[in-house]
A = this chain, B = another copy of it.
Amino acid sequence: MTRSVGSGESVRLGFATVDIGREQRQGLPEVVYGPGKSAAEITAIVSVLLERSTGPVLVTRIDPGEADAVLASLGSGSYDRSARLLSWRPSPPDLGWRAAVVTAGTSDGAVADEASAIARAIGLDVTDIRDVGVAGLHRLLERVEELRAADVVVVVAGMEGALASVIGGLVAVPVIAVPTSTGYGAALEGVTALLAMLSSCAAGVTVVNIDSGFGAAMAAFRLTRTGARTRTDR
């Protein structure tokens, strides 16, 4: 029966139902969202994923203390503190897909770190460009060639999020905008940047959730599912 929706195997742990078929359906094992799970629960889920899949296994938004506990239990894996990411079996960067991860300001750095670290762990070739917001436009214009060399540009910006529109007008490839909660008052915890990016005058910019470096990296990965097939199937 479960074949009707593709590779549908799953493992029930009581508190969780691990989706074993995801790697076959989507090219990557399920990524574990850390918040709200104990180290023991994470350890159990990661164990299943390591055993029942072959690709990179990731846990996002996990604090150092809990990360240490998981690493100790499993005896393997590595932790990236700035990205708050636990990883096992990262992909080699051989897919030939280049992502530029760009921030408007220094304080957008943590979200960009998450996007870059995950993108690298799942096999993308990442270029980081930081603090090139539109208040000093020449900082961005100096980097246009780097932006144009990418297959996909992830734009990470808070406050008014104007950088997404400006880059959207400068490059031809997919632009994935990540609004951040940087700013105060009228920035409304990232809602303003979110709405602004969705209303962008640059055609074809797409948007993921506030502060979701994870979402942007995964959206970038989806592109490779197309390109990969393009090169081989046709």
Contacts and interface: CB of A to CB of B under 8 A. Distances in A.
A2 to B, nearest CB: 4
A50 interface: no
B1 A4 contact: yes
Nearest to A226: B151
Nearest to A8: B138
A21 B136 CA distance: 8
Contact of A162 (B4, B26, B96, B166): B166
A160 B141 CA distance: 21
Interface of A: 1-6, 8-10, 14-17, 19, 21-22, 25-27, 30-31, 33, 35-37, 41, 96, 104-107, 109-110, 130-139, 141-142, 144, 148, 151-152, 159-162, 165-166, 168-176, 179, 181-188, 190-212, 214-215, 217-223, 225-227, 229-231, 234
A134 B162 contact: yes
A227 B203 CA distance: 18
A21 to B, nearest CB: 6
A186 B192 contact: no
Contact of A170 (B6, B161, B195, B209): B6
12 contacts: A1-B3, A104-B201, A160-B165, A160-B196, A160-B197, A174-B222, A185-B199, A186-B199, A186-B210, A204-B208, A207-B207, A223-B223
